[in-house]
C-alpha cells in the first residue's frame, strides 16, 4: 500500500518549465527592452564622459584662480603629456592631460619639485574630442587671482569645444550633446551647451564636431 501511495504522489507531481509559447514571448520582450535600453545606455555613457571632461577642466580653472588669490603667487594651468608622473611638466595637448602648479617665476614652465603640482589630471575619456582655439596650451593666473593673458609668444587658452561622435546636435533637455568651455582674459571660466553658440565657435575656429 505504501508503494502504491508513493507512485500516485509521483504521478501527481507538477512539472516546471516554460512552454514554447512562453519562451517566445520572453525572448520578444527581452528584444524590445534591449532595442530601447542599449542606445539609451550608450547615450548615458557619452553624456557622462562629456560632463566629466567639461567639469574637470572647469574645476581646475577654479582651483588655479582661487589658489593664486589665496597664496598670492602665480598659478599656471597647462596641458601635460606626463601629468600623472613625479616629473610632470607643461607640454603636449589637453586631451593627454593637464596640471595646475605653483609657477613661482611665472615662466609657464614647471621647474621640478620646487613648483608644487596642485592638481594632476590624466588623459580625457576615450571618445571625447577637443577643439582648442589657437592650439593654446596654458592659462596663467597672477597673484591677484586674475588672468595673466598671453605671455610672450604663448597664447592663453580662451575657448575649447568638446564633442563626441554625435557632433553638435540637440540632446536630451534641448541642449547640445557637445560643450564649449570659455575662459575670459580675467580668468573666469564657464561651460555652455547652447547649440547655436557652439556652432558659432566651431565656425570661428574653422573646425567641425567631432
Q: Which CATH number belongs to the domain containing residue 194 in this structure?
A: 3.55.40.10
Q: Is 172 inside any structural domain?
A: yes
Q: Is 23 inside any structural domain?
A: no
- Taking only the tens place, the pLDDT of each residue in 72-82 is 999 999 999 99
Res 33: pLDDT: 44
The CA-based dihedral angle spanning residues 141, 142, 144, 149, taken in that order and rounded to the nearest 10 degrees: -70
Beta strands in 128-196 (DSSP E): 129-132, 138-141, 159-163, 179-183, 189-192
Q: Is 53 inside any structural domain?
A: no
Q: Is 71 inside any structural domain?
A: yes
Query: Residue 9: pLDDT above 90?
Result: no
Res 29: pLDDT: 59
Query: What is the distance between the terminal CA atoms of the chain, rounded to a whole angstrom?
Result: 81
Q: Is 102 inside any structural domain?
A: yes
Domain extent at residue 64: 58-205
pLDDT band, residue 34 (cuts 50/70/90): very low
Q: Is 112 inside any structural domain?
A: yes
| DSSP character at residue 155 | P
Judge whether 14 and 85 are in contact, CB under 8 Å.
Answer: no
**What nine digits make up the cell of 184?**
575670459
139/79 Cα distance (integer angstroms): 9
Number of domains in the chain: 1
Query: Residue 128: pLDDT above 80?
Result: yes
| DSSP character at residue 72 | T
Query: Residue 176: pLDDT above 50?
Result: yes
Q: Is 3 inside any structural domain?
A: no
Kindly provide the b/e burial profile for residues 117-135, where b requires at least 16 CB atoms within 10 angstroms of the residue's own CB: bbbbbebbbeebbbbbbee
Q: Is 108 inside any structural domain?
A: yes
Share of the chain above pLDDT 90, in %: 77
- Alpha carbon distances (Å) from 155 to 81, 87, 185: 18, 24, 11
Amino acid at each position: 500500500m505504501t508503494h502504491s501511495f508513493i507512485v500516485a504522489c509521483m504521478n501527481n507531481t507538477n512539472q516546471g518549465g516554460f512552454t514554447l509559447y512562453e519562451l517566445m514571448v520572453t525572448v520578444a520582450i527581452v528584444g524590445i527592452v534591449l532595442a530601447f535600453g542599449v542606445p539609451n545606455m550608450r547615450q548615458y555613457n557619452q553624456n557622462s564622459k562629456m560632463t566629466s571632461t567639461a567639469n574637470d577642466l572647469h574645476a581646475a580653472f577654479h582651483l588655479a584662480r582661487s589658489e593664486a588669490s589665496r597664496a598670492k603667487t602665480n598659478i599656471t594651468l597647462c596641458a601635460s603629456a606626463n601629468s600623472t608622473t613625479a616629473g610632470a611638466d607643461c607640454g603636449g595637448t589637453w586631451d593627454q592631460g593637464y596640471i595646475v602648479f605653483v609657477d613661482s617665476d611665472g615662466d609657464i614652465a614647471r621647474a621640478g619639485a620646487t613648483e608644487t603640482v596642485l592638481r594632476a589630471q590624466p588623459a580625457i575619456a576615450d571618445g571625447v574630442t577637443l577643439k582648442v582655439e589657437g592650439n593654446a596650451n596654458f592659462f596663467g593666473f597672477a597673484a591677484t587671482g586674475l588672468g595673466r593673458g598671453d605671455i610672450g609668444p604663448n597664447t592663453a587658452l580662451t575657448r575649447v569645444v568638446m564633442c563626441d561622435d554625435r557632433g553638435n546636435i540637440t540632446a536630451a533637455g534641448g541642449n547640445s550633446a557637445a560643450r564649449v568651455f570659455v575662459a575670459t582674459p580675467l580668468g573666469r571660466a564657464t561651460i555652455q551647451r547652447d547649440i547655436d553658440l557652439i556652432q558659432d565657435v566651431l565656425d570661428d575656429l574653422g573646425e567641425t564636431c567631432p
